[in-house]
């Protein structure tokens, strides 16, 4: 990748943090993973990618057979970008390595929303640079179809390093679907993904991330979001497939007046899965708003569901809602909602509930003629249904499809 | 026909209902009066088949079939439906999904929309079932589900409680529709058993037979309007005394 301004200073900080354990989650020994993989060939036509890879990508919401419903596509296999393209004007989708060469000013965004020395995973991404996507919506441009990106782990035992930057210029609208998946259904691997989002004044970004890893993969995303005045960042995260270990705590800063951040997360942990997932929002400007909603189901795995809202400016408003459902004994859900405020007139609230399906609800549905299995499935489906405010209908349908496709495994 | 013979029902180790006998002919509507805590809801939930309500003696025969040991969902599929006085909130499950489930493929989205219009719940189809519903909305929602379910036996638990005067007229109309009151008596197929604490529902729905339940027993049976008049004049206390006299054979 090209050199960037202050590059030496970042490397220095990264080296100092190379062994720094994360604040949360299982500490991963990075030395047990490979640091490099063979370069993958570039495909100008994504339909030419191997059929099995396309099938796995589809399960993560990435459609390659017909990209007419997409504004752009980015595919990365291991640490190599193998495809990037756009349909139409107004949006850029290129590898971050290319973008850094193309735009000097991009250095100003590099490690601004996420600190390079956050922990060993951010440090590793800096020290062993792979690649990542650069997605930018030009000022005032409103994408009709979403941009899609896939981060694909092909090589067994690889530590995949990804650094993404998304910029929504003033008044733009951008929808992104990112699907993350693996070639193998059993080989171990490690995904470390840094994503920095910059939502300029009056811009709106919907970011939908669908994770479809395997039971041996560890995942450490590190995400930072900066939202300016009247900007909106809407995040939807779906994890319904088995995973070995996931720890992430994306952090958004509302720095402009009336900036808004909404997070919706759907988490399912089967036996052997350990999830430590949260969302954090700092309301730093007058009138900023946030809503954090998570739905967690354990069928035998462990979930720590965190949430944190810091109301540090006048007239800010935030709500945190965490609901957990324990379908099988042996699993654990630990909800940790946190609110912090030091000003009169702010409005922060939270609600959290963890439990099994209420027998009273199952019997109510059975009294309408549903069998116990049908009644339970209906309640679980309803539990996983998060009505996402502001989500384009096509994206909503995509999320519904992903959730429905995974329901059988949950049940 | 529904035939209840010498039915005794327990919750846990405690017997709540004793020696209940009742016969409802096809197309007939019966009402059950009784003070709070007398066992009226227990009878309805036991007839519906909720597992918490354990039948310890006696039998229930529905349409010629002994359903005493039949599970809740199988009774529902056989044609027994119930409107709940205080149904649970089911978060995430939308009203439209619930009504579609009740229809069991007998209708489509248009049918659901028509039922919503009929029950004045057009704005509720995307709402989570019973979440934030007022008393009247809950009753109309229960009626919408039953109209979709089209039961052969409708068990209605205090359909008028918590409903304002404007809504009670609509609830009455919906019950009459459910119980096929628009049809000539011989053509009616749906039976009804309505619990009423106050008897107000009788201003809107005609019933053939009334019962008074006190302390888990049926204390008397007869013309529902006459029974209501007696209750209005002497309160439920007169029924309790009457039952006591009959037990003591005095």
Tell me the per-residue pLDDT of B68-99, one tens digit each, with 9 for 90 and over. Answer: 999 999 999 999 999 999 999 998 899 999 99
Indicate if A30 and A47 belong to the same structural domain: yes
Confidence label for B234 from pLDDT (cuts 50, 70 and 90): confident
Supply the pLDDT for residue B250: 44
In chain A, the residue whose alpha carbon lies closest to the alpha carbon of B76 is: A369
Q: Which fold would CATH assign to domain B2-86+153-249?
A: Rossmann fold (3.40.50)
Sort out which chain B residues have CB atoms less than 8 A from A360's CB and list them: 88
Other beta carbons within 10 angstroms of residue A185's beta carbon come to 13
Within a domain: A20? yes
Mark which of A312, A336, A356 sits at the end of a domain. A356
Residue B247: pLDDT over 60: no
What per-residue confidence (pLDDT) applies to A394? 62
For residue B71, the chain A residues in CB contact (below 8 A) are 366
Report, in angstroms and rounded to the nearest whole number, the Rg of chain A calculated over CA atoms: 21
A66 contacts: CB under 8 Å, gap ≥ 6:
none
Residue A2: inside a domain: no
| Distance, CA of A214 to CA of A183 (rounded, Å) | 9
On whether residue A116 sits in a domain, the answer given is yes
Q: What is the mean pLDDT of residues B38-49?
A: 96
Residues A341 and A384 in one domain: no
Q: Which domain holds residue A411?
A: 357-411
Kind plus residue range of the DSSP H or E element containing A127: helix A120-127
Nearest CB partner across the interface for A385, out of B48, B73, B92: B92
Say whether A382 and B97 touch across the interface (CB within 8 A). Answer: yes
Calculate what percentage of chain B has a pLDDT beyond 70.
Answer: 95
Are A265 and A141 members of one domain? yes
Which of B76, B97, B128 lies closest to A369 in CB terms? B76
Both A179 and A285 in one domain: the answer is yes
Where chain A has pLDDT below 50, the residues are: none
Which residues in B have their CB inside 8 Å of a CB on A? 48, 50-51, 71-73, 76-77, 81-82, 84, 87-88, 90-94, 97-98, 101-102, 104, 128, 145, 149
Residues of B within 8 A of A381 (CB-CB) are: 92-93
The Cα–Cα gap between A95 and A74 comes to 8
CB contact under 8 A, A369 and B94: no
Q: Looking at the 3D structure of chain A, how many domains does it have?
A: 2
Average pLDDT, chain B: 90
Whether residue A368 is found in the same domain as residue A267: no
Question: Is residue A113 located within the same domain as residue A42?
Answer: yes
Please give the Cα distance from B212 to A89 (Å, whole number). 77
Residues A352 and A390 placed together within one structural domain of the fold: no
**B48 vs A contacts (CB less than 8 Å):** 367
Domain membership flag for residue A173:
yes
Of B90, B92, B104, nearest to A364 by CB-CB distance is: B90
Residues A174 and A55 occupy one common structural domain: yes
Where does residue A300 fall: left (phi above 0), alpha (psi -120 to 50 degrees), or beta otherwise?
left
Q: Which residues of A299-310 are buried (b: 16+ CB within 10 A; e: fewer)?
A: bbbbbbbbbbbb
Are residues A375 and A309 part of one domain?
no
Q: Domain boundary residue among A356, A374, A395?
A: A356
Ramachandran sector of residue B130 (left: φ over 0; alpha: ψ -120 to 50; beta: rest):
left
Domain boundary among A356, A374, A399: A356
Answer yes or no: do A264 and A362 share one domain: no
Q: Are residues A106 and A220 in the same domain?
A: yes
Asked if the structure places residue A175 within a domain, the reply is yes
Interface of A to B at Cβ within 8 Å reads 323, 358, 360-361, 363-372, 374-375, 378-379, 381-385
Residue A383 shares a structural domain with residue A252: no
Residues of chain B positioned with their CB less than 8 A from the CB of A382 = 90-94, 97, 128
Would the pLDDT of B182 be above 80?
yes
Contacts of B115 in chain A (CB under 8 A): none
Q: Return the higher-pLDDT residue of A387 and B64.
A: B64
Cβ within 8 Å, pair B149-A369: yes
Partners of B87 on chain A (C-beta within 8 Å) are 364
């Amino acid at each position: 990748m090209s050199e960037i301004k202050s590059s030496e200073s970042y490397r220095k900080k990264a080296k100092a943090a190379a062994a720094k354990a994360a604040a949360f989650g299982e500490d991963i020994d990075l030395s047990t993973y490979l640091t490099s993989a063979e370069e993958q060939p570039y495909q100008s036509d994504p339909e030419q990618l191997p059929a099995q890879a396309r099938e796995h990508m589809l399960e993560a919401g990435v459609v390659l057979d017909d990209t007419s419903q997409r504004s752009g596509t980015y595919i990365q296999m291991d640490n190599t970008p193998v495809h990037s393209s756009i349909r139409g004007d107004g949006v850029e989708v290129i590898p971050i390595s290319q973008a850094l060469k193309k735009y000097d000013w991009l250095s100003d965004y590099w490690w601004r929303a996420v600190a390079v020395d956050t922990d060993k995973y951010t440090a590793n991404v800096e020290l062993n640079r792979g690649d990542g996507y650069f997605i930018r919506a030009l000022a005032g441009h409103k994408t009709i179809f979403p941009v899609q990106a896939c981060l694909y782990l092909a090589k067994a035992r690889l530590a995949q390093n990804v650094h993404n930057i998304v910029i929504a210029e003033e008044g733009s609208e951008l929808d992104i679907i990112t699907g993350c998946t693996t070639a193998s259904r059993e080989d171990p691997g490690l995904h470390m993904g840094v994503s920095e989002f910059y939502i300029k004044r009056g811009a709106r970004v919907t970011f939908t991330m669908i994770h479809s890893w395997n039971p041996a993969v560890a995942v450490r995303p590190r995400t930072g979001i900066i939202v300016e005045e009247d900007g909106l960042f809407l995040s939807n995260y779906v994890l319904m497939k088995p995973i070995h270990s996931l720890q992430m705590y994306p952090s958004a800063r509302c720095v402009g007046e009336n900036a808004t951040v909404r997070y919706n997360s759907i988490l399912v942990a089967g036996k052997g899965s350990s999830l430590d997932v949260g969302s954090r929002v700092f309301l730093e400007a007058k009138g900023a708003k946030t809503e954090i909603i998570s739905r967690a189901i354990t069928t035998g795995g462990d979930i720590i569901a965190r949430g944190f809202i810091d109301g540090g400016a006048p007239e800010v408003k935030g709500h945190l809602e965490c609901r957990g459902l324990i379908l099988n004994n042996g699993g654990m859900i630990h909800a940790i909602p946190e609110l912090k405020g030091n000003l009169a007139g702010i409005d922060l609230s939270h609600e959290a509930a963890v439990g099994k399906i209420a027998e009273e609800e199952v019997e109510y549905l059975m009294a309408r003629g549903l069998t116990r299995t049908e009644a339970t499935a209906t309640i679980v489906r309803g539990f996983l249904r998060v009505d996402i405010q502001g989500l384009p209908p096509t994206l909503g349908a995509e999320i519904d499809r992903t959730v429905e496709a995974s329901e059988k495994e949950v049940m | 026909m529904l035939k209840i013979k010498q039915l005794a029902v327990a919750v846990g180790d405690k017997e709540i209902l004793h020696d209940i006998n009742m016969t409802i002919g096809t197309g007939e509507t019966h009402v059950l009066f009784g003070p709070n805590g007398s066992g009226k809801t227990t009878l309805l939930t036991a007839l519906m088949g909720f597992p918490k309500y354990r039948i310890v003696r006696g039998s229930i025969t529905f349409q010629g079939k002994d359903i005493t040991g039949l599970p809740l969902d199988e009774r529902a599929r056989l044609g027994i439906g119930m409107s709940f006085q205080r149904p649970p909130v089911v978060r995430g499950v939308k009203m439209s999904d619930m009504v579609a489930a009740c229809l069991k493929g007998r209708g489509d989205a248009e049918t659901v929309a028509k039922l919503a219009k009929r029950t004045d719940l057009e704005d509720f189809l995307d709402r989570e079932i019973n979440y934030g519903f007022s008393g009247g909305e809950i009753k109309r929602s229960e009626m919408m589900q039953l109209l979709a379910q089209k039961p052969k036996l409708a068990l209605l638990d205090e359909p008028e409680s918590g409903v304002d005067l404007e809504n009670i007229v609509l609830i009455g109309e919906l019950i009459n529709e459910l119980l096929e009151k628009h049809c000539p008596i011989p053509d009616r197929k749906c039976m009804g058993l309505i619990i009423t604490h106050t008897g107000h529902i009788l201003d809107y729905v005609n019933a053939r037979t009334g019962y008074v339940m006190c302390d888990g027993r049926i204390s008397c049976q007869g013309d529902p309007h006459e029974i209501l008049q007696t209750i209005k004049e002497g309160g439920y206390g007169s029924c309790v005394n009457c039952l006591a006299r009959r037990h003591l054979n005095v």
